[in-house]
A = this chain, B = another copy of it.
Amino acid sequence: RCFQFFKLPGRVMGIRLLRFTSVVIVVLLLVAGALTALLPTIKDDKMPILKRESKTQSQSALDSFTLIMQTYNRTDLLLKLLNHYQAIPHLHKVIVVWNNIGEKTPEEMWSSLGPHPVPVVFKVQTVNHMRNRLQNFPELETKAVLMMDDDTLVSAHDLTFAFSVWQQFPEHIVGFVPRKHISTPSGVYSYGSFELQSPGFGNGDQYSMVLIGAAFFHSGYLEDFQRQPEAVYALIDETQNCDDIAMNFLVAKHTGKPSGVFVKPVDIRNLEKDTNSGYSGMWHRAEHLLQRSYCVNKLVNIYDGMPLKYSNIMISQFGFPNYANHKTKM
């Protein structure tokens, strides 16, 4: 009966229908085949990459840090230090804040001597300001910042350990240079170090600041720094000093606790005398320390109170360089 169907007067139409149907079926199969061939490939190409990127990114953000180093008139030291710092474990990127106004960065030379372990970004500045290093750089991808002065050499061991300490105290400035303020009966504050009288909370000394020229801190504080009273920026620009004291005020105010955690360095060196530039750091100026006492009092005015708190916690690395550092003679 089926055969008879095809033999009816619509036989010609039947054949056309058959051809048409065949063509349709073949086309459909081809399209299906094409789709099948395409889909898995797209999946294979894209998803693993997405996974890889996000894994690297999330790992980077949490488990690595960005070195921010401001430099002025000591390019020889800068390059010497970059060779050392570029290889520190857990380093994600270096941001060089180029305060040599009008001068070309060593970017070309740097690239010609590649490849390098991590990306190095030269941020050309328009004015030679101390607080240039406290910008919220868009290149900053990590939660942690390591800020170093351009004449300070800290060993990789110290930095690796201090970074692990920062990860346990992420809201603090974790670094190698402790300082303190003291108050006097007149209510006027003074800034200094061990030479100043101890604040008198039990025996030993106390510190209330950790300088950011050799320290780890949370990148969020760079964001916060952009939202400070104008008077703070004016003070730092006026003195070309005290940006670190201002940061300690900011952090102490934010946490209500001591701003810093002091990690005792095993090997920290100042390379100032090694420079050919003949330029020595700001801290050699006669008025340097007096300025910093001045800054403490101005900041207390601006912030309407003294937020700095004292601490006497000193952290060292257990059993490094050797077990003698914790051997107890009983």
**A residues adjacent to B (C-beta < 8 A):** 157, 160-161, 164-165, 168, 176-178, 194, 198, 202-207, 262, 264-265, 268-270, 311-321, 323, 325-328, 330
Contact = CB atoms under 8 A, between A and B. Distances in A.
A318 B269 contact: no
Nearest to A156: B203
A176 to B, nearest CB: 7
Counting from the closest, the 5 A-B pairs by CB-CB distance are: A205-B319, A204-B320, A194-B323, A312-B318, A270-B330
B315 A194 contact: no
B204 A319 contact: yes
A88 to B, nearest CB: 13
Given A165-B313, A313-B165, A262 B326 contact: yes
A314 B177 CA distance: 18
A157 B312 CA distance: 13
A270 to B, nearest CB: 4
A198 B328 contact: no
A195 to B, nearest CB: 9
> Copy number of this protein in the oligomer?
2
Nearest to A319: B205
Nearest to A152: B330
A312 B206 contact: no
Contact of A318 (B165, B270, B314): B314
Contacts of A314: 315-318, 325-326
A269 B203 CA distance: 21
A178 B316 CA distance: 14
Contacts of A264: 316, 326, 328
Contacts of A161: 202, 204, 312
B178 A318 contact: yes
B317 A315 contact: no
Contacts of A205: 318-320, 323, 326
A202 B315 contact: no
A310 to B, nearest CB: 10
A79 to B, nearest CB: 21
Nearest to A201: B164
B318 A262 contact: yes
A177 B318 CA distance: 12
Given A161-B204, A264-B316, 20 more contacts: A157-B203, A160-B202, A160-B203, A164-B202, A164-B312, A178-B326, A198-B319, A205-B318, A206-B318, A262-B318, A268-B328, A311-B318, A312-B319, A313-B315, A313-B318, A314-B316, A314-B318, A314-B325, A314-B326, A315-B316
